Structure 1
Amino acid sequence: MPATMTQTEVTIFLADQRGCSQTDWFRSYHSFNFGSYQAENRAPFGALRVFNDETLAGEKSLKMTVDENSDVLLLPLTGALEYAIGPGETGLSAPGELLVLSAAKGTEFEITNPYSDELINFLQIWVRHNAPSVKTKRFTGSFEVEQKNQLYPLFSTHATAMIGKFEGRQEGMYTVQYPEKNGVFVFVIEGAFEVQNRLLHPRDGLSLAHISKMDFEALSNDALLLVLEIPL
């Protein structure tokens, strides 16, 4: 009997079609349904529940509460961010440093722009996990993308994240660690890429399910790509 073929499922999340929440001091673009933004074809991608591209004005703060056991990733892109987790635990995360908060349901945290008159921009990503018991903990790690044209590991817990800066016409490949149960979400931070024959511009995203390898090519210099392998 011939083997069953599984067709790759692909969804593109164009930057200009994202949801948006905005005040005079804060703006958040949502790749997935979040808060009052609810749209067709924008359901969470497996365990990837939140992928927000956020900008915060000087000396303003954002408070969040985790509604289920999750790894919360905070990735500063422009400027540093201050964070506070529960009572008394604070710190500063600069560009090039990833903050991972393994948070139990009900955990509260706060993000603050430490500058008086500069905007900060960061990614806020939530990955659900089914651990029966979670103790809130913090992990900060730095990544180096000065050596171009390869993916570097950001973290690996319930999901895996990689990041890389590429010169134009440089090709790459990501091999899925657990293709039978995981999918891949790709987000272009800067520049342009062709991923699995799909053209992606800055802040575009792409989800891929039922895939074992993902091919990509940078179409501009200093193009920056984020790759997440997520349980489905």
Structure 2
Amino acid sequence: MEATNPSRTNVQKKFYPAAERGHVNFGWLDSHHSFSFGHWYHPEKTNFGALRVLNDDIVEPSMGFGTHPHQNMEIVSIPLFGELAHKDSTGTNGIIKTGDVQIMSAGSGIQHSEFNHSSEKKVNFLQIWVLPKVANIQPRYDQKSFQEAGRLNRFQTVVSPIDEEAVWINQDAYFSLATLEPGKTLPYSVHAPNQGIYVFLIQGKLSIENTVLERRDALGLWGSEEYSFQAEVKSEVLIIEVPMK
């Protein structure tokens, strides 16, 4: 008789089809929302554990978000193509390029603006909000560049509360990127019990725990210590690991 793995029987999952994301188009901004945001509300899509927002934003040349406030939120920006010009009340004033990962801990209060740095080309970036572990910390900013070669057929940690090579986050949360070649199988292990992973497929086609994801689909998983990924074609994936409580 084949032995069973108790941890596998407890796996729970929730599928988030790309086509069911919220969508707004203001002309200068074309945005798809994985979770309730702004003018779009879905009662079953308000969060995944501590993950509160994942917006897939395309901004027209020279356009963007004017100065506005945030408080007690960990805000991550990941450009997929193009460049963002960022300015905030901590004194930061710079450019976020493709390959960079930026985080802003809003803490007790911060104001910032983000604009497409180019006057000719669009910019596409993921804007991700995570609820903080500790409220009202001093606002802070961090940004690092990550080489694509560092995520080929492996998970590259880009956001972490403990990894000095990643940008720091005020939460027990971990963001990892991977580019998988066709047929490649890769395991992902959570960092602690009661953590879940939100799998967002940027490009390609992946099979995860008997669920197939295609471009911009997502899958929430919890209840196990490890999950297996298999690429059917070349695939780019973002894993967001967060506390579920």
Common fold by TM > 0.5: yes
1:150 aligns with 2:154: yes
Residue correspondence of structure 1 range 209-228 to structure 2 within 5 A: 209-221=222-234, 223-228=235-240
Shifted more, 113-122 versus 129-138: the winner is 129-138
State how far apart, in whole Å, the 2-side matches of 1:184 and 1:5 are. 15
Partner of 1:57: 60
Partner of 2:191: 177
- Alignment match of 2:219 (pick from 185, 206, 225): 206
Q: What per-residue deviation string (whole Å, max 9, x for no partner) do you get for residues 10-53 of structure 1?
A: 11111111001211110111001111211142120111000110
State how far apart, in whole Å, the 2-side matches of 1:6 and 1:104 are. 39
Secondary structure of residue in 2 paired with 1:146: helix
CA contact (8 A) 1:49 1:127 kept: yes
Partner of 1:100: 103
Partner of 2:3: none
State how far apart, in whole Å, the 2-side matches of 1:120 and 1:144 are. 19
CA contact (8 A) 1:70 1:105 kept: no
Secondary structure of residue in 1 paired with 2:149: coil
State how far apart, in whole Å, the 2-side matches of 1:139 and 1:88 are. 12
- Alignment match of 2:16 (pick from 7, 13, 18): 13
Q: Structure 1: give runs of 5+ residues left out of the alignment.
A: none
Residue correspondence of structure 1 range 1-232 to structure 2 within 5 A: 7-63=10-66, 64-66=68-70, 68-86=71-89, 88-147=91-150, 148-157=152-161, 158=171, 159-178=173-192, 180-221=193-234, 223-232=235-244
State how far apart, in whole Å, the 1-side matches of 2:133 and 2:7 are. 29
State how far apart, in whole Å, the 1-side matches of 2:190 and 2:20 are. 27
The sequence identity of aligned pairs, in percent, is 28
| TM-score between both structures, scaled by the size of structure 2 | 0.87
Shift of 1:5: 9.3
Q: What per-residue deviation string (whole Å, max 9, x for no partner) do you get for residues 111-167 of structure 1?
A: 100111211000000111131431111111121222521111102022101111111
State how far apart, in whole Å, the 1-side matches of 2:133 and 2:90 are. 25
Shift of 1:103: 1.4
CA contact (8 A) 1:69 1:130 kept: no
Q: Partner letter of residue 208 of structure 2?
A: V
Equivalent pairs, count: 227
